[in-house]
Amino acid sequence: MQLREYLAILRRLWPVVALLPLIVGGLSLASALGRPPAYQATARLLVTQAPQPGDEFFVARLVTHTHRYLALDDNGKVMARFSLDTVSSVF
């Protein structure tokens, strides 16, 4: 067969060539969106300044905020894993 014959076949069957990938892609997308998520994550960030020497108020505030954020985790998983309480006697 020559190139012209191949091009004639493609011209005749172009709807199949164009629609088949669209149909397969649509079915794949529908299948992926229909499934429950396999992975989900959340994150909380606590961004602070570095404590300055002699700044006990800053350190106490940092500990308070850290404990507050850890206390908000779902069902206390983080608090229990690291044996943390909500009141710190260290600082």
**Residues 63 and 91 sit within 8 Å (Cβ to Cβ):** yes
* pLDDT score for 91: 44
Q: How far is CA 72 from CA 31, 40, 56, 76, in A?
A: 35, 18, 25, 7
Domain chopping of the chain, boundaries: 3-34, 43-91
What pLDDT sits at residue 51? 63
Longest dimension (CA), the chain: 87
Predicted structure pTM score: 0.38
Residue pLDDT, tens place only, 4-36: 999 999 899 999 989 999 999 999 999 999 998
Does the pLDDT value for residue 90 go beyond 70? no
